[in-house]
């Protein structure tokens, strides 16, 4: 059975969604790496004597801001990933 233009279009949509999923997982890995680096810094800082003149409050604010930004990215990624199975299923359904 020869592939039709509609089949090729559906396959292209599936490939696009697969690429989006791969990008999403890559972004998730980057986020996890960033969180790991932050946690390592926290553990190292907790084990050391505080430097003279160091502003712990400012460092904690900066970390909280970074985590808030990461949280927003993760929320968008979660929404995209949650919708993906339905979109793929819809692309596979004849007439979809």
Question: Quick check: is 77 in a domain?
Answer: yes
Both tokens assigned to 93: 């359904």
Q: Return d(Cα 15, Cα 48) in angstroms, integer.
A: 50
Question: Quick check: is 1 in a domain?
Answer: no
- pLDDT on residue 50: 67
> Which residue range forms the structural domain that includes residue 65?
57-91
Question: Quick check: is 29 in a domain?
Answer: no
Helix (H, G, I), strand (E, B) or coil at 6: helix
- pLDDT on residue 77: 87
Question: Quick check: is 63 in a domain?
Answer: yes
Q: What is the phi-psi region of residue 82: left when phi exceeds 0, alpha when psi lies from -120 to 50, beta otherwise?
A: alpha
Question: Quick check: is 69 in a domain?
Answer: yes
Q: State pTM to two decimals.
A: 0.45
Instruction: Give the mean pLDDT per block of 10 residues along the chain (96 residues).
Output: 84 91 90 90 82 76 89 88 84 72
Question: Quick check: is 80 in a domain?
Answer: yes
Number of domains in the chain: 1
Question: Quick check: is 84 in a domain?
Answer: yes
CB 7 within 8 A of CB 94: no
Which ranges of the chain would DSSP assign to H, the alpha helix?
A: 5-47, 56-92
- pLDDT on residue 2: 76
């Amino acid at each position: 059975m020869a592939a039709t233009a509609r089949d090729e279009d559906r396959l292209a949509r599936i490939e696009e969604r697969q690429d989006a999923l791969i990008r999403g997982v890559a972004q998730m890995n980057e986020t996890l790496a960033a969180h790991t680096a932050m946690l390592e810094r926290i553990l190292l800082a907790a084990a050391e004597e505080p430097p003279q003149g160091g502003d712990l409050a400012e460092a904690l604010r900066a970390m909280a801001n970074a985590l808030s930004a990461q949280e927003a990215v993760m929320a968008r990624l979660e929404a995209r990933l949650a919708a993906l199975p339905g979109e793929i299923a819809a692309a596979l359904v004849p007439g979809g």
